[in-house]
Amino acid sequence: MKDLLKAFDLSTPYYNISTGQENWVGNSKKIIDIKSPVNNDCIGTIQLADNHSYKVVVSKAKEAFPIWKSMPAPQRGDIVRQFGDALRKEKENLAKLVSYEMGKSLQEGYGEVQEMIDICDFAVGLSRQLYGLQMHSERPNHRMFEQWHPLGIVGIISAFNFPVAVWAWNATLAWICGNVCVWKPSEKTPFSAMACQEIFKKILKQNALPEGISNIIIGDSDIGKLMASDYDIALISATGSTKMGKSVSQTVGKRLGKSILELGGNNAIIVTQEADLDIAVPAIVFGAVGTAGQRCTSTRRLIVHKSCYQNLLDKLIHAYKQLRIGNPLNEKNHVGPLIDVDAVNDYLKTIEEAQKQGGNLVYGNNVLKGEAFKSNCYVMPTIIEAHSNMSIVRHETFAPILYVFSYDTLDEAIFIQNNVPQGLSSSIFTQNMQQVETFLSNSGSDCGIANVNIGTSGAEIGGAFGGEKETGGGRESGSDSWKAYMRRQTCTVNYGKNAHLAQGIVFNL
């Protein structure tokens, strides 16, 4: 793993990297060892940023903003294109680092880096499509139109489960819109983030551009609070728990700043009596156990028509028994570790509470032991038969725990799905078009993502990503999400020889 760090010019112990200088500064006494959940080995040592480091970072960003925003958007897009090309060259190394530091399977690590490449491609095209509208004015010889301008500094707070991709969703769009970025990655996965920063820093240097266009600061929640309260940061895009998001929203709201919130998910799949189970089972299993259940889009609830309930449950148990759990760098393994022992404890406590509330454990509930699992972070994916009055199913636990419900009518299934505080991703499996359209109607899923015959995980970058209710309402990545990173300006030009007031008002002097 040391060879991987050297590939990105990262040495260990590695101290506060928040200033973008060779001799990192920072007076924080908070020094932490970053250990891999794969084998508990220490990847490196990080000195967390302090208030002084934070001010240095923001100062660099403020200095770079006038230079960056003055470049034509297509030229900014070309810088992002170069970043995407660099990611292609570094895909294997970066994927391995992500997998080792976070614990997701290597295939998922490759997928995460591919998401970064894809959003770079999307942003490059978008850099020539930052369109405004032209409207017909009610006044003669007037032209009315809208245009879009960059906001300034965009602050990005990302979570450990996608240590690099979610940053790229935000940063690439923010960059082509003319903004500069300050990124606070999770302190649980800093080295993957630093590798990305080193890659982009080389691109900036090759193009004689200031490093302050892209900034990184490794810190704990205190740094996040500084970002949320900072008037110099025009937009905060925060990914994480609902609790964190509520705090960010309140703090940013007090200063009337802008925020994009991507928070908790409690995602459900509905399987109707007319579903193709051969399609449904692989999607359910990956949705429930992929990334060891640590995706915001992980499948946490399965709502199955009573006519196929037992058949599907038997198929799931059979599939779970085929899962290989172990070192995620071994591509034969399906499931890697949870991020740390705290996550393991949450897994155990949740299963215990579910059983207390009447849930029937049908598979799992085991922390794996032995030399291959010496980090104590490997757990068995778990299936629990549930019922609607179990309060535990309304809460998100970042672990591979799947609750299974039965239902009689589609309306009942949709009610069960929607009857949680979160509203991120949802799916239905059916070959019945009427059921499909009901699920997609305004009486159907209340989530930001609604899928048919595919699972809840695996969103593509072309569509806007985000959810409703306690998921936060934010949208990142594709579609017209770029508008969140810009300010709209309505302009009216009088090219005539007379002064006309709107609404036909006459004001004679």
**Domains defined along the chain, listed by start:** 54-263+472-489 (3.40.605.10), 267-461 (3.40.309.10)
In the predicted model, is pLDDT for residue 331 greater than 50? yes
> pLDDT band at 11, cuts 50/70/90?
low
Give pLDDT, residue 28: 60
* 262 flagged as catalytic: yes
In the predicted model, is pLDDT for residue 54 greater than 80? yes
Give pLDDT, residue 17: 44
What does 52-78 look like in DSSP terms, one character per residue? HHHHHHHHHHHHHHHHHHHS-HHHHHH
Name the average pLDDT for the chain.
Answer: 95
Among 112, 211, 262, 396, which one carries the catalytic annotation? 262
Query: By CB neighbour count within 10 A (0-12 exposed, 13-18 middle, 19+ buried), where does 340 fall?
Result: middle
Mean pLDDT of 164-192: 97
Note the pTM of the prediction, 2 decimals. 0.96
Alpha-helical regions (H) of 182-308: 190-206, 221-229, 242-254, 277-289
Mean pLDDT of 375-384: 98
What share of the chain in percent tops pLDDT 90? 90
User: Cβ distance 270 to 303 under 8 Å?
Assistant: yes
For residues 48 and 433, the model is more confident at 433
Whose structure tokens read 């509330």? 357
Mean pLDDT of 51-59: 93
User: Cβ distance 272 to 305 under 8 Å?
Assistant: yes
Give pLDDT, residue 68: 98
> pLDDT band at 280, cuts 50/70/90?
very high
For 120-148, the pLDDT digits (tens) are 999 999 999 999 999 999 999 999 999 99
In the predicted model, is pLDDT for residue 26 greater than 70? no
Percent helix, strand and coil across the chain, each to the nearest 5: 40, 20, 40
Q: What is the Cα–Cα distance from 176 to 485, expressed in whole angstroms?
A: 10
In the predicted model, is pLDDT for residue 13 greater than 60? no
Q: Give φ, ψ of 185 to 5 degrees.
A: -75, 170
The residue type at 162: F
